[in-house]
Amino acid sequence: MSRSEIILLAMTALTTTMLAQSSTMVAQGSGWPPPAGHMTMPIWPGAAPGAPSNLPPESDMTTAKDNLIAGRPLIRLGNVVTPTVTLYKAKGAGSAPGPAIVVFPGGGYNILAIDLEGTEVCDWLTGAGVNCVLLKYRVPGTGPYPKSSAALQDAQRAMGLVRLHAAEWGIDPNRVGVLGFSAGGHLSAAISNIYDKRLYDPIDEADKLSCRPDFSVVVYPGYLANADQNFAPNPEIHPTANTPPTFVVQAEDDPVHVENAVVYYMQLKSAKVPAELHVYAQGGHGYGLRRTALPVTTWPDEAEKWLRTIKVLANE
């Protein structure tokens, strides 16, 4: 072996070690897996309906080539077979039951951006006085409905469980909303309109409770307007007067297409659903809550104002 080959092998080994260490450090600082003190439970008593048995182990699918968000990496959790909910209690919560939001991370129904659009969201919500329930739903290939019903099954089941355990978890069962990003934004819209019947055989008392959200936050959604059909509305999403109040946000330059937000908002307006739409000039896709110089990253401030407007949170 030549000297140059030895040097190349050494550099490759060093790079591999550094990437592994970096991945470990990211995981340690990301809030995922959830630290001690947060209740985590599987949402299904046994295997999820139709869950595959041949997926590789659940793991972070991030590679050295993946993009950074606001200069920081993120966890791209893949091969999720066992969905769970993790409870993050509102900071400074009193004895009275408080509102809760079930959070759906995005990832194209292939992975879950579990920190960027999950744990970081719960940190924000709990600081604002909202209990957060982070849903780790099944991926890959689990949506959008009706291509697959798996993710929506998980969302329906999670909503029922939150209401079943509301008293135990200090949650007001009449103030339980959803918040999702990208594919999770589609999931928020889907469960806001597809809630009358479970997409699985009912199991227990949780499935006898309503899985309709009391309000919905839809952030840079996909799958709500069909680009191949002149951005016609998704035919599976039919807002009615019973669709919950909804907050929608997206950037005009989003490569996933801002029409997803605009078309869905117009559907809500036609159905006379109280809705608020925020469209920003720049921002692209997948920014989560990480602040940059772009105004779109201030959307959580507007969402908090909206939560006060619809009386989920008390006015300051």
pLDDT digits (tens, 9 = 90+) for 177-211: 999 999 999 999 999 999 999 999 999 999 999 99
Closest CA to 82 of 112, 108, 117, 38: 112
For 269, other C-beta atoms within 10 Å of its C-beta total 13
| Beta strand 171-181 pairing with 216-219 | parallel
Q: What is the pLDDT of residue 289?
A: 97
Q: What is the pLDDT of residues 60-111, one digit of tens each?
A: 999 999 999 999 999 999 999 999 999 999 998 777 999 999 999 999 999 9
Q: Where are the domains of the chain?
A: 1-30, 34-309
Q: What is the pLDDT of residue 95?
A: 78
Q: What is the pLDDT of residues 265-306, one digit of tens each?
A: 999 999 999 999 999 999 999 999 999 999 999 999 999 999
| Averaged pLDDT for residues 131-141 | 98
Contacts of 214 (CB under 8 A, 6+ apart): 174, 175, 176, 177, 244, 312
Global pTM reads 0.90
Closest CA to 109 of 190, 183, 187: 183
According to CATH, the superfamily of the domain at 34-309 is Alpha/Beta hydrolase fold, catalytic domain (3.40.50.1820)
Map tokens 């990301």 to a residue. Answer: 30
C-alpha angle 180/184/188, rounded to 5°? 60
Map tokens 């002149």 to a residue. Answer: 230
| Averaged pLDDT for residues 204-221 | 98
Q: What is the pLDDT of residue 92?
A: 80
